[in-house]
Amino acid sequence: MTMTRQKTWRVGAMLWTLGILFLPLQLIVALQWPTGYSLTGSAISDLGVTICGTFTDGDAPARVVCSPWHPVFNVGLVALGVLTTLGAILLYGRWNARSGKAGIAFAGVSGIFVVLAGLAPWDVAPDVHDLAALCQALLQWPAMILLAVAAGAGRFRTLTLTCVVVSLAGFIGFLLALDGTEFSLLPLGVAERMAFDSLTLWTAAVGVAVLVDSGSPIGSDPVSATPLLMPYEKNPGA
């Protein structure tokens, strides 16, 4: 393994870590709403809606939307997708098992759909936006599971699988809210953030973990790995 390869992985990890900035960016955009943005009743996509008005989504209650800084949100979403995809390309090989390489590939493609969601605001192209968001989740969930398998037993696997469960639970709650079945403890806005913001948090956390790791390909050198990314699998080709 060359120093160039280690530096490439570190740059990829930095890009993934930078994705965390999308979360405070949401708050900044939300604070510009003249009507007030609700973290529980408003959808994440409402921040990128290009006009002011009352909108309905499925059987969920109508929502008043007015996001003056929608270009900031949409550009931020595109940037998040670019960071995710470029980071995945640079991190390829960091998990050298087949499961790890497949996981990174899935993560990279999921970023492309994040870009598409940012380029297609919900009010402009709702079907495209919703499909892009769905594809992101359907690709990132297996990406997370595959990387957890590649890393082996340890805290990384536990934290990753926990994040998958939280995201899936939020996604189910979000779909139920859109269908008119909203739980008091899991309203639409909270459910959607569990489903999608958890994916952003996980990606950034992986970036941080790689940055603090020693730099050896996960799955080939158990001795050099940090506790968070410690691999215990004996077969690097798993």
pLDDT of residue 62: 85
Q: Please count the residues of the chain.
A: 238
The DSSP symbol for 196 reads I
- Which of 168, 155, 172, 167 lies closest to 198 in space, CA to CA? 167
Q: Among positive and negative, which fits the CA dihedral 45, 209, 142, 182? A: negative
Q: Would you give per-residue pLDDT tens digits along the chain (238 residues)?
A: 567 888 999 999 999 999 999 999 999 999 999 989 999 889 999 999 999 999 888 777 888 999 999 999 999 999 999 999 999 999 998 988 899 999 999 999 999 999 999 999 999 999 999 999 999 999 999 999 999 999 888 888 999 999 999 999 999 999 998 887 767 678 989 999 999 999 999 999 999 999 987 555 555 433 334 445 544 333 344 4
Other CB atoms within a 10 A radius of the CB of residue 201 amount to 16
- CB contact at 8 A, 68 and 90: no
Integer CA distances (angstroms), 187 to 2, 61, 137, 172, in order: 49, 11, 19, 11
* Token pair 């996981």: residue: 103
- Decide: helix, strand or coil at residue 102: helix
pLDDT of residue 61: 81
* Cβ-Cβ contacts under 8 Å for 59 (sequence gap 6 or more): 178, 179, 180
pLDDT of residue 232: 33
Integer CA distances (angstroms), 189 to 43, 186, 215, in order: 5, 8, 38
pLDDT of residue 74: 98
Backbone phi, psi, residue 152, to 5° = 85, 180
* Cβ-Cβ contacts under 8 Å for 120 (sequence gap 6 or more): 128, 129, 132
pLDDT of residue 228: 52
Task: List strand residue ranges (DSSP E) for 41-150, in order.
Answer: 53-55, 63-65
pLDDT of residue 180: 79
The one-letter amino acid code at 142 reads P
